[in-house]
Amino acid sequence: MEPILTLADLDNWSFEGTALAVLGHPIKHSISPAMHNTALAEMAETDARFHSWRYFRFDVPPEDLPVALERLHAAGFFGLNLTVPHKVLAFDLIAGVDDRAQPIGAVNTLRRNDAGWHGFNTDGYGMATAVQEDLNIDLSGTHITLLGAGGAARGAAVECLQRGCASLHIANRTAANRDALIAQLQPIKGDIPVNGFSPQDIPQDLPANTLVINATSAGLKAGDPLPVDLKALPKPCGVFDMIYNPAETKLLAAAAAQGIPTANGLSMLIHQGVRALEIWSDTAVPFDAMRRAVIAK
């Protein structure tokens, strides 16, 4: 297991290979090092350049992120992943942002260039790929009911709109947050209907066969309430929960009891990591190796 490093460890940094890292606070829970180092070991079997690649983890408090980005660039790090709470904070601290990440206002993957860091967001790609793989549902042309209005929901909403969903209905308990997200989506929604509602007051005109996506944290703890009453919705075509631990949340259990196809966020986690490593390596990345590492954890 990779040790938990801090900025103090950069004072005498001497790693001569290609260094990658994940930054977060806290970072102890992250399985990204195991996932990426397992993939890199397999890639090195057929491409010798990856023998010198290694993925580390740094605990970086949010107030230290600006100096952390500067110091890691100066130390020669080639790529970074960002997790809570850094995805939004880093957006205005880096030299450039990928066009598809601009509407999200958050980045989770950084690649080094001479000017500093160029940012990407692979979460939406991970979600869309997981939905296609696990539920056999293409976001394009599908009606979406999105639960939540925070950072994860914003990334999901942008991905759904960029892929041409049929409609987007956003459910969130706090009206101000829900309305703010809908307003932020206006410049990119085109002709796609985007509406909001409270989970306690479900409109009667929701389309049938929607894909329900849970982007809230409801379900992480055993005592959490359901983010929505599925029985009050027209029967969905599937329910996708971004949470992967526990593997079956109350929402997924309720969906399964009604015969609705379900999937958790495990494949999303892996696919966003695969895409990040593709951005850094410019080559194909072994999904199965990453999956084995995640399951082993």
Residues labelled catalytic:
87
* DSSP 8-state class, residue 82: E
Interatomic CA distance for residues 262 and 256, integer angstroms: 7
- Answer left, alpha or beta for residue 219, where phi above 0 means left and psi between -120 and 50 means alpha: left
Helix (H) or strand (E) holding 19: strand 18-24
CA distances, 290 to each of 32, 91, 107, 137 (Å): 9, 27, 21, 23
Q: What contacts 253, CB < 8 A, 6 or more positions away?
A: none
- Answer left, alpha or beta for residue 155, where phi above 0 means left and psi between -120 and 50 means alpha: alpha
Coil, helix or strand at residue 211 = strand
Coil, helix or strand at residue 48 = helix
Residue 94's nearest CA partner among 114, 75, 72, 116 is: 116
End-to-end CA distance of the chain: 11
Structure tokens at 8: 């103090």
Interatomic CA distance for residues 244 and 100, integer angstroms: 25
Residue 196's nearest CA partner among 222, 165, 166, 175 is: 175
Interatomic CA distance for residues 190 and 174, integer angstroms: 25
Structural contact between residues 95 and 117, judged by C-beta atoms closer than 8 angstroms: yes
Interatomic CA distance for residues 62 and 58, integer angstroms: 12
